[in-house]
Structure 1
Amino acid sequence: MSGSRASADRLARLLNLVPYLLARPGIELAEAATDLGVSERQLREDLELLWVCGLPGYGPGDLIDMAFDGDRVTITYDAGIDRPLRLTPDEALALVVALRMLAETPGIANRDAIERALAKIEDAAGDLADAPVEVRMPGDSDQVEALQGAVRRGRALRITYYTAARDETSERTIDPIRVLMVGGRAYLEAWCRRAEAVRLFRADRIDAQTELDEPAMAPPQARLHDLSAGVFQPSPDLPLVTLRVGRGGRWITEYYPCERVEPDGEQWLVSLRVTDLDWARRFVLGLGPEVTVVSPIDLVEQVRDQAAAALDAYAVPAPVSAGH
């Protein structure tokens, strides 16, 4: 049995184990193992895992608890898992829709596992699974379909693209390779003739596109990105920025890959790589007083100068029109 399949089966067994034991306080482990169709050793391993499961906080009084009397077990705290999992009609339909959408997502891995799960839920949902539902992918689905069509037809594209890191719009001729979804966003991976390299273009930042008559011909040296760790993968050659972050800005450590996070009194010192300092300047200014730049000095000066210019602009009184 594959690891993913075994994990899924174990999760289903754990979800039903607590209500089963609640209904049979003091049951012998051997009897429970026979009822559940597992070995006694597997049952003991499941119980050990349940001991570290529970409600957020995961402290005393939050985790599932049980008492043993020889070879007998009794659940003493169920953490709310007091009945077998039963989906409401709305929940079942939501799962069917989500899995269907996931199965159609470009570049998705483990499609077989998704289709097996979908088949099981559709079977359990019965006629409900055939309810008419309109599903739309995030972003501009027409844009994504047009990009997928260019890939299928093997045609080059001329695009107008907005680069957020530099806050600029440019025109490029590209050779599309594939469309994929990463982190809920659609990307076109293509050979950029201007950069002479493979680039990722966010579909929602392509302002215009024209399919050319010439075929897409990525050169032999074109190498696809490894996106297993996400779109942005920091490297040592990128600028390293260190910020002093207040409590309200700590969320950035969950959304951006950081090289270092350490306490500094009531604040945190956070170091992360950025594509360029212009992006970092706009990013820091958007966070307001929750963040102070520690280094590099160039970024410190850029943020200070732009903040001062903004304050000066507010200090100039607005012109008063005639008659007021």
Structure 2
Amino acid sequence: MSSARERLTRLLSLVPYLDAHPGADLEETAAYFAIDSDTLIDDLQLLFVTGRPGHMPDDLIDASWEGGKIFVSNAEEVSVPVRLSAEEAGVLVLALDLIDTLPGLDTEAVRTAAAKLRRAAGENLHTPVEVSPIPADEELMAFLRQAIDGQSAVTIDYYVGSRDELTTRTIAPSRLVPGADWYVDAWCYAAQAPRRFALSRIRSWASAAHPPLKVGESGTEPREVTMTLSAAGAWLADELELKEREYSDNGEPSVRIRFLVHSVDWLSRFLLCHADVITDIDDSEAVEAAALRLG
């Protein structure tokens, strides 16, 4: 069963297609739109109540498919293929420009697609569409990408506007995030929790060593943890920066996740907060630390 959004999108493409191909074969048309013939007939029946405001008989689209051949009439106002608005084209171009900054992609394909969108939108509006990506310090971006790829820690001088204070933090960056500014998601060793930092507020940066893990001082490097969540806790997978995610349905639905941990103290608190949905974990030290917290 199609969602309302999917069906509307299909209808907006179906009418121009049928208008350009009078007498189109029913089965072939269904295959073209990746649906079965019954779904296509449901769409055609919906056209009888679709048309211009007023909803009088001569305002509505007429469709027939007797003998397996489809004909539509009175569909002039919706027979033009859907075109992107200036705002829609701008959002897509901006998204492609942001994607172009990410490592490991075919940048030539991304730039070609963005150029075609700019041209197509400009032809519609008789004016070029100019979209500028979010400005960022290229040196800082490159430094953070390298730290993310190498799972390294960095020290930053970070300006906190609400307190008019320049702070020094040691963080473990995990990903760059575009928004009103560029941001870096990271583990903050001072807060012992995940934090998001705006790149425009980072005043200086340098490589650093990972501070020791709390609770047991078990090492100077972050470590990977594998955990299994029940179906009720599957949403937690979207809250963590994962290295791997695997769904299973062996009797009870579950999701197995693998992620990087920078603090046993944090992990033990995480276990206590979500003990009812965590069915398995391979970190015995965090389990023992959680048990100690319970007293």
TM-score range, shorter chain: 0.3 to 0.5
- TM-score for both structures, normalised by structure 1: 0.42
